Amino acid sequence: MIDNIIIDGMSFALPLFVMAIGGIYSERSGITNLALEGLQGFGAFTGALVAYCLMRSMGAGSSVPYWMALIFAMIGGAVYSLLHVTLCIKFKANQVISGVVINILAVALTTFMTKTINKKVFGAPSDKFDLGVSARITIPGLSKIPVIGAFFKSVYPFEFVIIIIAIIAWYFLYKTTFGLRLRACGDNPHAVDAAGGDVAKIRALAVCVSGALSGLAGICFAYSISAKFSGDIYMGYGYLAIAGYIFGNWNLLPSLAACLIFGFARSGGYQLVQALGMPSAYSDLVMILPYVLTLFLLIFLSKNNQAPKALGETYDKSKR
């Protein structure tokens, strides 16, 4: 039971974490990003469409569609995030409203496009793209260690990708000049401008990073939770990622801890339902556990959190 909790918890927590990293990049630059839900959905749609087309031509046994899905999900999420960039940076729209609109638009747009493409191109009246079950990897030796070995057992390939991306993201955010300027844009954008930095470009790039990482998270959820892309991908995971990095005070490692808590709460609830032999309806009820836990964590543990000082503020160079 413990092994299953760890295996399933990690497969949920890591995509949530990589989406939270994207949110951190965006908000540490000063752009409020409530659009993570829509970005992950549109990215997942793009990756799933590419994978579905490749599977029909190359066969389900090829691994190429899987890896292409991850790549194109990131591209799709980054491209869709340009809408948030345009609204918030170019037209100086309200960042909260922009995020909400992007989420609503993503649901309607991807659902319509999925149905239309299936009907017009593939001749199938379906509202989903079937992706199949992703292969899993077990690391010999390490997987035999009691309890800890579960972290190396039945691992999705995307989990390794996310760990590598997280390390790279940490390095760029905290150990490079670009990361220093990005964090300064969220606290004192006028100082960045005075030092010769382009605030608009830095913020735009940060939002695109959030789009790419959210898209990656979306296709990971599609492969691990449902084995397909459909409207079910919009399950509030984007908002859960937002709660994760708020709980983590906009820092990577505490946000990882929050995402792990959410992941283990979800998988632990499912395992408890199965162990007690409860009706399947209770499994659906378990899905609210991460959100209930989020509510209590934010109420009691985030009182002293400090958001970036310029978060949500439209930068006006003339006011420097």
Quick one: three-class SS letters along 100-127?
Answer: HHHHHHHHHHHHHHHHHHHHHCCCCCCC
pLDDT in tens, 101-147: 999 999 999 999 999 999 998 888 888 999 987 889 999 888 888 88
Statement: the pTM of the whole predicted model exceeds 0.85:
yes
User: Is residue 293 over pLDDT 90?
Assistant: no
Name residue 137's beta-bridge partners: 155
Structural domains in the chain plus CATH codes:
2-134+153-306 (1.10.3470)
Burial class of residue 108 in the structure, from the number of CB atoms within 10 Å of its CB (0-12 exposed, 13-18 middle, 19+ buried):
exposed
Residues near 274 by beta carbon (within 8 Å), at least 6 away in sequence: none
Neighbours of 56 (CB within 10 A): 11
How far, in Å, CA of 186 to CA of 268, rounded?
Answer: 37
pLDDT tens digit sequence for 41-92: 999 999 999 999 999 888 777 889 999 999 999 999 999 999 999 999 999 9
pLDDT given at position 58: 86
